[in-house]
Amino acid sequence: MPVPRISMRTIINVLRLKHECGLSYRQIAGSLKISVGTVANYLSAAEQAGLSWPVPDDWDETSLAQIFAPVRPSSMQPAAAFAAVDFAWVHRELKRKGVTRQLLWEEYCQTHSSRRCYGYTQFCVTYREWRGKMSLSMRQTHRAGEKLFVDYCGPTVEVGPVGNTRPAQIFVAVLGASSYTYAQATWTQGSEDWLASHVATFHFLRGVPELVIPDNLKSGVVRACRYEPTLNPSYVEMLAHYSTTALPARPYKPRDKAKVEAGVQLVERWIMARLRHRSFLTLAELNQAIGLLLQDLNARPFKKLEGSRQSQFAALDQPALKPLPLVAYEYAEWKLVRVHLDYHVEVHGHYYSVPHALVKCQLDARITLHTVELFQRGRRVAAHARSLQIGAQTIVTAHMPRAHQAHRQWSPSGLLQWAARIGPATHRVVAHLLTDKPHPEQGYRSCLGLLGLHKLYGPQRLEASCGRALNLGSPTRHSIDTILKSGLDRIELTVEQTPDQLPLPLPVNHENLRGASYYK
């Protein structure tokens, strides 16, 4: 009778509970979490072998194993009697989307219909035993087109003329199913280079995977977390442009990105090590050399599987990748800004206007090489062409309050045209006010105040008062306003009259006037 495979410790406990504690078969089974039949089989085997309790000291574990070792049923056939299974093919096919072990077993049976085939259970057990003999990196099963693992090499490559070199970082990307590898040199691991390397990888693959698995680099992951990591907004936007997303590896869990760890090691050994004696003046020259060695790396045949990374990529990953978008991603930087009291925000030293109702609000600025877009809670509120002038401003009239819009619409030429429609004297006074200040805008208010007097007194009286003010040598808004209030514009100014003979707007005899006699 075959005995189930259970540890020797469990067998000894079965004997102890029966002979020393006097428990029933069902009680022993419940205590040790085994079946009642298993308890019966072991006690029966011990009785047939004449094994008493307690177990004699001269009985070691080897002696017990000879009694309780499972017996192969006579009906079980040796493995050689069954049709051989190409487990490398099984392992490769399981990476395809929708392929199951059940389907592969059925195809195996159809292929070897003329021979005795494994049952489904034995097929799976034998496959697991085969997979257990593979290297640890092969135990992870990655579906075709599903995951792209990305990271940087630890060592760098010096680029530039002798005595003035600069270290270049080596970016590495590896597809999960085929291990197809891409590598590129960049100056930094910053956000712009990080995103540009992803874009270059997608175009190298001529497709996009379902997931990108990065390490917790700050350019991609703002806050690392085992459960809900916070991604860089620029990184999220770039991935969304390519209809994919990121699933960062858990902190301190290198097996989450074992593929790229192996890829980094391969790049360091088969590419960087071969370039260690070469000098590169430019980054483009280094990337050209990396590209040539990368072709050789992907074409190298596997040691334990058929084909190479290149052939596996063509058969597995490439057909499963999503297509590239029609337009390549343009790098954009995101920045949190606050609207100043003058309804402008500062971006890299330049000031851009937003609707004046957003004063003191926080906005998200999306900055590209050519544009600056401003968003409030995901809604775009302003867009400008990017300017590199430090300290200057870019303003849209519609963003200004109405009072500011009215002020902005006036220019020296517009004010002069308005004054000319009233009369030549008014035109002369406005021209004087515009030129009397260091900057024309400083005279805008005076001009607007002067021209606005026509609403109270009419254009004829305003023109007459401007003429009188010019004759008096006082062409200011205050003088003209005084003339209109006192009605002096209605008094005809004769040639014989001099400015001293003109009636004063105030009474001559006044207690606060000293008069000429005061100075004698």
**In 322-423, which residue ranges form alpha helices assigned H by DSSP?**
402-408, 412-422
Q: What are phi and psi of 120, to 5 degrees?
A: -60, -45
Within-domain flag for 305:
yes
In this prediction, residue 225 carries a pLDDT of 67
Within-domain flag for 510:
no
In this prediction, residue 1 carries a pLDDT of 43
Q: Are 383 and 348 in a shared domain?
A: yes
Q: Are 171 and 243 in a shared domain?
A: yes
| Helix, strand or coil, per DSSP, at residue 315 | helix
Q: Are 310 and 396 in a shared domain?
A: no
Model pTM score = 0.50
- Encode pLDDT of 102-141 as tens digits: 888 988 888 888 888 888 988 898 888 888 776 544 455 6
In this prediction, residue 444 carries a pLDDT of 74
| Residues in the chain, pLDDT under 50 | 1-4, 71-76, 136-138, 495-508
**In 78-190, which residue ranges form alpha helices assigned H by DSSP?**
87-93, 101-111, 120-132
Within-domain flag for 325:
no
Within-domain flag for 343:
yes
3-state SS of the chain: helix, strand, coil percent to 5?
Answer: 45, 15, 40
> What total of structural domains would you count in the chain?
5
CB 361 within 8 A of CB 335: no
Q: Show Cβ contacts of residue 258 under 8 Å, excluding neighbours closer than 6 positions.
A: 136, 137, 140
- Partner residues linked to 168 by β-bridges: 157
Q: Are 257 and 381 in a shared domain?
A: no
Q: Are 349 and 241 in a shared domain?
A: no
> Where in the sequence is the domain holding 60, given as residue range(s)?
8-68
Cα separation, 25 vs 32, in Å, equals: 11
CB 298 within 8 A of CB 317: no
- Partner residues linked to 353 by β-bridges: 344
Q: Are 223 and 162 in a shared domain?
A: yes
Q: Are 195 and 218 in a shared domain?
A: yes
- DSSP of 40-108: HHHHHHHHHTT--SSPPTT--HHHHHHHHPPPPPTTPPPGGGSPP--HHHHHHHTTSTT--HHHHHHHH
Within-domain flag for 107:
yes
In this prediction, residue 489 carries a pLDDT of 80
CB 157 within 8 A of CB 167: yes
Q: Are 419 and 490 in a shared domain?
A: yes
In this prediction, residue 438 carries a pLDDT of 67
